[in-house]
Amino acid sequence: MKPHRAEGTPQRLRAADIGLIAMLAFVVMFEGFDISLTSVVLPFVGKAYGVDAEGLGRSLSVIGLGAIAAWFVIRLSDRFGRRPVLLLSAGAFSIGSLATILMPTIESYTLVQALTRIALVSQIATAYLIVSESLPPALRGRAAGLLGACGSFGAALPAALLATVLDTSLSWRGLFLVGGAPLIILPLLWFRLGETPAFTARKAAPSNVLGELRMLVAPGLRRRFVAMSLLWLIVNFSAVVSTFFFTYYVLNERGWTAADLALIAPFGLGSAFFGYLAAGFLMDGIGRRATAALFFVANGFLVMICYAATGWLAIAACYVGIQAMLGTWTICFTLNAELFPTHVRAAANGWCHNLIGRWGMVGAPLLIGSLSRLWGSVGTTCFWLGLSCFAALPVILFALPETRGRNLSTEESDA
């Protein structure tokens, strides 16, 4: 499947575009699934392996290093193509998720999850690259939003299935069976997914890491490179604060049960679905920068209220709202793709998001674990760290250009 559009073709989704989005939506679904799963199983991992909040924070930090290591994989798609990287990483993620079920210690669990995170982050980044390079400029934001919206079903699965799997012989480990699902769609991707037109027509990619870096820090791209690196650092840090310790927080500090999580899961699903769609439509309507600012501010307020509240309804409502803010990831993936030329587009994503930005996902669990031990509360810690969302505003408003309508398939866009 190789969507190609001649000059003057109406800016609307064709059957081939919809088929492409449908295939990739199944892959992207596991972004929300993995983030949600990390939070949902956290208290059970702690009990199974005898680890407290501080120890869990260390484990999450090591797992987060996998997202940084994904830089080595993602940048290869500038040299070998988007298609092979997506196929290999999707298969590796499934195998890693299934292998997690068998891990007997916290050390082996952490190692396998770190390796699995490399594959997950690589497949998600590559999927968004494919969509950005295959869809027309006027529809790119909505297409990315639709991709995320379809994929949002994954975010609701862990909480929705938790009560059921706890009654099985695998207990909480049974949730990792879901991670093996991409193996089902791999044959379809193999036969139906083609290389993107933009990659096929690209200039030669830099031959080494230093060449990539020199190009990214050259005067024409330097400001974008620094701004996107900072924005991804904030995104990753705030994602940990808002979601990773939520299950631990409500089960241990607010008296919730697995049934409570299952009750709010469908509402979280609906909220994430419409959040992704809203992000896409707003990006094409009011622009990338305004949409990003809106989502970051809303997420900051929701996180702070969620972790300060004591009432069930207030916490549940904020949780549902936070799920809608998952659309922030789609906004940032879209911005990162549109800010850089084709021959270093994947490298730019790898450098900004993985090699630099993902340190936010490594540092945040360590900080939450340490401060929670000091202050005696995960809720109090996440409340104050929720302020991190507002740090994105100056980056968005003063350092990033607007990219709405940019054509990624022409040499002019690559200048």
Q: What is the pLDDT of residues 227-251, one digit of tens each?
A: 999 999 999 999 999 988 898 899 9
Residue 97 confidence (pLDDT)? 92
Instruction: Work out the mean pLDDT of the chain and round it to a whole number.
Output: 86
Q: What is the mean pLDDT of residues 109-126?
A: 92
Annotated domain spans of the chain: 15-399
Could you report the per-residue pLDDT of 300-332, keeping only the tens digit for each?
A: 999 999 999 999 999 999 999 998 998 898 899
Q: What is the DSSP string of 95-147?
A: HHHHHHTT--SHHHHHHHHHHHHHHHHHHHHHHHHHHHHHS-GGGHHHHHHHH
pLDDT above 60 (res 415): no
Residue 205 confidence (pLDDT)? 65
Alpha helices in 244-349 (DSSP H): 246-253, 258-285, 288-308, 312-324, 327-339, 345-349
Q: Taken in order 394, 62, 386, 273, is the CA torsion positive or negative?
A: positive
Tell me the backbone φ, ψ of residue 285, rounded to 5 degrees: -90, -55
Residue 204 confidence (pLDDT)? 65
pLDDT above 80 (res 408): no
Are 162 and 172 within 8 A, CB to CB? yes
Closest CA to 144 of 336, 393, 373: 336
Residue 6 confidence (pLDDT)? 45
CB atoms within 10 A of CB 151: 27
Are 129 and 346 within 8 A, CB to CB? yes
What is d(CA 372, CA 308) in angstroms, rounded to the nearest whole number? 14
DSSP state of 218: S
Q: Name the burial class of residue 186, with classes exposed (0-12), middle (13-18) and buried (19+) by CB atoms within 10 angstroms of its CB.
A: middle
Of the ranges 296-300, 347-351, 360-364, which is most confident? 296-300
Share of the chain above pLDDT 70, in %: 93
Listed in sequence order, the residues at least 6 apart from 102 whose beta carbon sits closer than 8 Å to its beta carbon are: none
Cα-based torsion angle of the residue sequence 53, 59, 61, 66 in order, rounded to the nearest 10 degrees: -160
Closest CA to 61 of 323, 226, 245: 245
Position 121 confidence tier, pLDDT thresholds 50, 70, 90: confident
Residue 409 confidence (pLDDT)? 58
Size (the chain), residues: 415
pLDDT above 90 (res 389): yes
DSSP state of 13: -
What is d(CA 146, CA 377) in angstroms, rounded to the nearest whole number? 37
Closest CA to 131 of 24, 31, 9: 24
Angle at 97 between CA 63 and CA 337, to 5 degrees: 65
Distance of CA 290 to the CA centre of its chain: 20
Could you report the per-residue pLDDT of 249-305, keeping only the tens digit for each?
A: 999 999 999 889 889 988 988 898 899 889 989 999 999 999 999 999 999 999 999
Q: What is the mean pLDDT of residues 80-102?
A: 91
pLDDT above 80 (res 161): yes
What is d(CA 343, CA 386) in angstroms, rounded to the nearest whole number? 36
Question: Identity (one letter) of the amino acid at 268?
Answer: G
pLDDT above 70 (res 413): no
Residue 2 confidence (pLDDT)? 46
Closest CA to 71 of 292, 366, 363, 359: 359
Position 7 confidence tier, pLDDT thresholds 50, 70, 90: very low
Listed in sequence order, the residues at least 6 apart from 1 whose beta carbon sits closer than 8 Å to its beta carbon are: 16, 19, 20, 23, 192, 193, 194
Dig out the tokens for 294 from the structure.
Answer: 């809106």
Residue 12 confidence (pLDDT)? 67
The domain over range 15-399 is classified in CATH as 1.20.1250.20: yes
* Tokens 């079920």 found at: 101
Q: What is the mean pLDDT of residues 59-77?
A: 88
